[in-house]
Amino acid sequence: MKSSRSLAEFVSLKSPICVLSLIVAVLSGSVAQADTRGEQLYRNCTICHGPDAEGIPLQLAPALSGLSEKYIIEQLKKFKGGIRGKHHEDVAGLRMLPLAQTLASDEDIQAVASHIVAQASSQVETSLEGGDATKGQALYAVCQACHGPDGKGNDLLNAPSLVNQHDWYQLTQLKNFKSGVRGTNPQDITGAQMRPMSMILADEQAMKDVIAYIQTLSK
């Protein structure tokens, strides 16, 4: 009773500032709610992606903390719809696929993505050997058109950030795009944009070279 009366008094002041602060209070309440929901949902993800979304190599799970909200949402929708991760040779994608099904609605997908992007992105360890970053820099000239000279990606082109991402994950993805394990579902429009780019990398050595250069952008 007391609180509703004071709320009525508060509103009855009719001061624009008070009304504004009321709106702000209500809005931040709903943001806080989405945060809690996102945090709750993310508990199902920590076992593979880690508590800070830094990724866990043994689980084949990439870092998520450096990715944009838009990209995370789109990938979750693709996994949920079986547009990514359904190929029978996609060992890692098939692990992720059922997890996206645990996100029941677009609101849940939004909430968990907001929670992930709120985590600070930290540098990850390099693990691949034998990549030549100087040769890779020349190859990266093509990639930067979409992923940016700094590797941070471009939401307008649907190109994700490549910095602070595990090198082993990037090698798997480049191989998957090239072999058609990723990006060949007819509904995968953004995957189809990346696929021809993987084709210009002649072999595994070229992939390792460009990844070695990408890793220098994270430092």
Question: Based on CB atoms, which residue is closest to ligand HEC, 139 or 217?
Answer: 139
Stretch 97-136: interaction string toward ligand HEC, x if CB under 6 A = --x--xx--------x------------------------
- CA distance readout (Å), 21 to 17, 28, 35: 6, 10, 21
Note whether 213 and 140 are within 8 A (CB): yes
Instruction: Tell me the backbone φ, ψ of residue 87, rounded to 5 degrees.
Output: -60, 135
Note whether 83 and 185 are within 8 A (CB): yes
Q: How many residues bind ligand HEC (CB under 6 A)?
A: 48
Residue 38: which of 105, 109, 106 has the closest Cα?
Answer: 109
Structure tokens at 92: 């890692």
Interface pick for ligand HEC out of 111, 117, 159, 212 (rule CB under 6 A): 159
Residues in the chain: 219
- Least distance CB 150 / ligand HEC (angstroms): 14
Note whether 106 and 70 are within 8 A (CB): no
Interface pick for ligand HEC out of 44, 101, 123, 134 (rule CB under 6 A): 44
Site for ligand HEC in 1-40 (CB under 6 A): none
Question: Based on CB atoms, which residue is closest to ligand HEC, 45 or 217?
Answer: 45
Residue 94: which of 56, 53, 127, 61 has the closest Cα?
Answer: 61
Structure tokens at 174: 């480049």
**190 lies in the binding site for ligand HEC (CB under 6 A):** yes
- Site residues for ligand HEC per CB under 6 A: 41, 44-45, 47-49, 59-62, 64, 67, 72, 75-76, 85, 92-93, 95-96, 99, 102-103, 112, 139, 142-143, 145-147, 157-160, 162, 165, 170, 172-174, 190-191, 193-194, 197, 200-201, 210
